[in-house]
Chains A and B, each alone.
Chain A
Amino acid sequence: MSRFGALADYAPTLETRYQLLPFRFANLDDGRCVVTNMVGEYALLSRADLEDFVHHRLVPSSRAYDDLKAKHFLVDGDDSVAVDLLVLKARTKASRLAQFTGLHMFVTTLRCEHACPYCQVSRQSEDRAAFDMSEATADRGLELVFRSPSPTIKIEFQGGESALNFGLVRYIVERAEEINRTEGRDLAFVIATNLAIVTDEMLQYCREHNIFVSTSLDGPADLHNRNRPRAGRDSYERAVDGIRRARAIVGRDRVSALMTTTRDSLGRVEEIVDEYLRQGFGGIFLRPLSPYGFAVKTKSYAAYDADAWLDFYFRGLRYILDLNRRGYRFVEHYASLVLGKMLTPFDTGYVDLRSPAGIGIGALIYNYDGEVYASDESRMLAEMGDTSFRLGNVHRDTWEDIMTSEALLRPLEASYTGSAPMCSDCAFEPYCGADPVFHHATQGDAVGHKPTSAFCRRNMTIFKHLIGLLDEPETRRILLGWI
């Protein structure tokens, strides 16, 4: 007789009662369901297995049973460490909330020498007094910045074209550095600029103060220039030249680019990706169509836009994955953020896909005139006449006034996906976020009507698609390299 026990001596039996741990489910397309737990771990099950699972009929030590046990969907021992681990993971995911506002945007000026039709905020003007942020406003803004308890502070310069008021950029950087000598935060700077009027001296300053450069590149020259007109019709050429100079002076890892997707972009995703490849970028963020501006003015953000964009996105993703399969690493950044939520224990820190929403508690924007808004989109809305998400003014209001204002708290609470209709029982809620500004702008209230929400449709489709991709071993290996 062996001294060793058999597997059957340790494994749960048909008599073993297991308990369900909290989870949600959704149907995928092909008779399969996806189940997700409170921290976004997921498993794929057949419908039959799901029903068996819920009714405590799942066969112990079947593949499904073992997967669900390991991923903390069920527990079958008296003193299992499973709940402890679940708690730890939930704390880890939530921990960024306690850090509070980490991203602080300063609109140094509304002036801009571009005239992009999709921009809601810029002014074609030389009037500095009217449209530049003053040092007094910057000072008040910085006081508010350091009222945030966040150990990491990122100050981002926006506009208009922020570099048109580079003197103020310098002022804010140096004031912030001075304050930080006693504050001791992890302080970082980013300047969002079209690079068209940025000199080597400005870039040298960025190098000295570790300011990252974020620019716009919408695609190949004709597309970019059509999207982004300026006198001289040379936005693309200046952007490309600026990227080269910025990499040389500030550092190749400190220069990034973002695209704006317009209707003209929708049919040309491969060309846009190729442009990013050509310019030496390691990835691209395929951004959604913005509903602000024209769409909001006419109160139409047509459903067809969501589908047309999804087509654009998936074609782009397929093209990018193909590049990866051929051995060229190139990342799609939105997918990589979502994958981080799906596969890692961490919150990936993207303010626009968070619940509670990132408005205010994740990011704040200090406008040139001292008005404080809950997000960049909130500012755009205000420029179009809707000040619902204006939280206060740096000259008049304290940190407490701003962070406890109704304008912030009501939409935060209302839009929280954990209690919103349809979101609260959605399996993909751990990956998703609340976007009260989007829903207010397109549907009239912060919660939104998710069955008709383009935000919901877009995200849910992407989540399902990525889960499908992760199920293919070769693709999974590529996607793992993106997180």
Chain B
Amino acid sequence: MLTLATRTLELRGFPSDEVSRHLLLSEDRQLPEPLRRSRAFIARVGQPPSGFAAYVGFQDRPELLEIIDHAQTPVVLLPATDFEYLSDGDVLRVMPRGNAARAVYRRRSRQNFILTTERCNNFCLMCSQPPKRDDDSWLVDDILRLLPLIDRGTPEITITGGEPTLLGDDFLRILSACESWLPETAIHILSNGRTFADLDFARRYAAVGHHDVMVGIPLYSDVSHLHDFVVQAKGAFDETVRGILNLKSLGQRVEIRVVLHQQTYRRLPQLAQFIARNLRFVDQVALMGLEMTGFTRANLPLLWIDPIDYQNELEQAVDELVAHGVRTSIYNHQLCVLPERLWSFARKSISDWKNEYMPECHGCTKMDQCGGFFSSAHLRYSDHIRPFLAAGSDRSYGMPAHQSGTL
């Protein structure tokens, strides 16, 4: 698991009251001089080239940047091994006032997230980003300053929170800025959908006219009070469904997301029927494994169920959705806990800074196909993790020997 943020760093040459500054990183010694004025050089070895706006080095090699006069040019020294991954095109946000820094964008990553706020009007039992009530509206301008620095070749960015739409017009400004600065980048918005129940807001969202955007909206039950319980907010189900209806009536793309745990698995087939019957026009449905972070830890007795124990319900739900022509995907499940019939729906999707494999996986021939685990899964994961061994082994799940070499 990658470390993205730190408070153990040295900042030299930044005004002590400066809240936040973004550094677009470069490793290019030959970078043309005009471009150096807007980038920060990552010093790993040898003498750093001159002319950059700032320099980023590591605490185990501070001498590399001793030559820089930080009265003129600021310097950042990061903890050594933790940030070794930083590379050309990444964006590091330094926060001198709080003596902190965070890698907010990584060009090589397949999943970049933009956190818009930590406020939320739901309070899900299994929230992986527990809400805070502080006024974090400073994030809006921060994001608007970040967007121009992001490589325009980035395929996709996820806008998340908390609940991004609570920012109201600022949320729309951010989306509009994405369209301006990143006209080839797809945007995936994670939202509970409730604000879109306000048709006027939904219209203004549609009016932004983003070329490739989808809202991922969680729905946890076909029964309103069961959904409200999971998200800990009365009336949430009704607003969420209204939001979905409004978005679809305006031709906007919507994905329904379902996190599978003890409180949602029992009626999963019925939820699939509900979606097929009432929300047939959604663009896709994502069935997701539980992350052991945030509130999940506190609510584990209420939430935990071994995925092996809901294979039936999951199979029925997928059958239902697929029969009705609804595009369906399974995320964050290991292949050994999924019925083989469902493997074609499983997507390898755990963010590369979060995924790992367990000791039980040792020797598994399907690790490449399988998404593995969240790092947080060490806390609790299925008792039925088993490797798929090569043919001929006595614990083989794979192809029989006479078929080896063919597919």
Contacts and interface: CB of A to CB of B under 8 A. Distances in A.
Interface of A: 3-7, 9-12, 41, 61, 66-67, 69-70, 77, 79-81, 84-85, 88-89, 343-345, 473, 477, 480-481, 483
B238 A81 contact: yes
Contacts of B277: 41, 89, 343-345
22 contacts: A4-B125, A4-B299, A5-B229, A7-B229, A10-B225, A10-B226, A66-B267, A69-B223, A69-B224, A70-B222, A70-B223, A70-B274, A77-B224, A77-B235, A81-B238, A81-B245, A85-B245, A88-B245, A343-B276, A343-B324, A473-B316, A480-B319
B8 to A, nearest CB: 31
A85 B248 CA distance: 13
Given A345-B280, A477-B319, A4 B238 contact: no
Given A70-B270, A88-B278, A481-B323, A10 B223 contact: no
B123 interface: yes
Q: Nearest 7 pairs between A and B by C-beta?
A: A480-B323, A70-B222, A10-B229, A81-B238, A10-B228, A81-B241, A66-B223
Given A10-B234, A88-B278, A473-B316, A344 B229 contact: no
B270 A89 contact: no
Interface string B221-254: 1111110110010110110011001000000000
Nearest to B197: A81
Contacts of A61: 225
Contact of B245 (A6, A10, A84, A483): A84
A9 B228 CA distance: 10
Interface residues on B, range: 20 to 34
B118 interface: no
Interface string B288-317: 000000010011000000000000000010
Contacts of B232: 4-5
Chief secondary structure at chain B's binding surface? helix
B320 interface: yes
B258 to A, nearest CB: 15
B167 to A, nearest CB: 24
Contacts of A66: 223, 226, 267
Interface in B104-131: 123, 125
A345 B279 CA distance: 9
A12 B225 contact: yes
Contact of B270 (A9, A12, A67, A343): A67
Contacts of A7: 226, 229
Contacts of B221: 70
Contacts of A344: 276-277, 280, 324
A77 B221 CA distance: 16
B278 A345 contact: yes
Given A67-B270, A88-B278, A79 B235 contact: yes
Contacts of A89: 277-278
B190 to A, nearest CB: 21
Contacts of B319: 477, 480
